[in-house]
Structure 1
């Protein structure tokens, strides 16, 4: 029995140390395109991080692809470690899902098209970060060549999972004619997709996301993306 208990604890990776003060604060606009050469951007993504109190940050992600609906996610997180407090997902301004975190539970409201609101509570057995915030959380990790991290995540619809993060190395990149040193980081999603991130060493700003078929890079015009 003792051996089984020890094995169980060894199988659960320790949560990484997250320092929310490392997170880049401000607006960043990204153009998104298919990876094939010569294909024009399919849309833009606005990522905004704002200080909203002594101990909180608000993360906003707004996107539109190929003339489709305006998608937005708003995440209120703790400044210290980016743990989730409340999240809200919208389509064309209409709330689809809101989740309030606290005490090892996530209390969610699902807003259906017929006007009904379904309320339910989910529990998770250990502290976790909201699945939608992983691309922000990983930028604050204590990077080093060859480092590996396991980030426990939770999504109200999809449940708990672990996002595995590996630091592959460093690269010098050109952003609007300015050379910048960047960390090259690979994240493995719950569906085993591998997404590569370029993260600025100086300010921890997210510079590029390569998901294989789709690439997002700092630039573009987000003037029409209103949170």
Structure 2
């Protein structure tokens, strides 16, 4: 589905980003793994098959210079065709206990990082007349989560950013869409207390957590030609939770 295309993935060394990178490579793409942890990014590149299919770049998504260099790194594979803005952080606390620094860090990483990635990739794609940008939101941006005023606000902001950006570049052949994952099985969710796990599981009509590969499949759909008439869309991958 992605034969001959070059994709840039932020936060690509682990979790959902790594699952997306694995699926993209399996579909014929070559990928640039951007991550603040260069050692992990390099290990991921090795696992993906080495320099012929992947490149590791240290990148702080809140840095304009880092993001510009990350997108430019795709020139080694012919220039960016797909951009996945996936990198994120958590700093959970109730409003009463959350610090302003932790609020700003989450907003800067998710919203500013996604904006910088979208802007940098769109600048290249518009000249080529084609491209797909996939932004990672969350179901938390739709319903809000207790103790996540920062994260929920950031993920809702990504939805607005995606729709506005999509309107700006649609006539230039560039598509911008977003994914809102629900509860996906990752080391973070598996570390939850058993009572919380069971409570949240009970809210999912399909009766199970999602797998990273299921989010990666949707990212692949949005990255490729099967979604060629879709832009400004937000796809929920939640097993029916919060319908």
Do Structure 1 and Structure 2 share a fold, with TM-score over 0.5?
A: no
Q: Which is higher, the Rg of structure 1 or of structure 2?
A: 1
In proportion to residue count, which structure has more helix? Answer: 2
- Taking structure 2 as the reference length, what is the TM-score of the superposition? 0.30
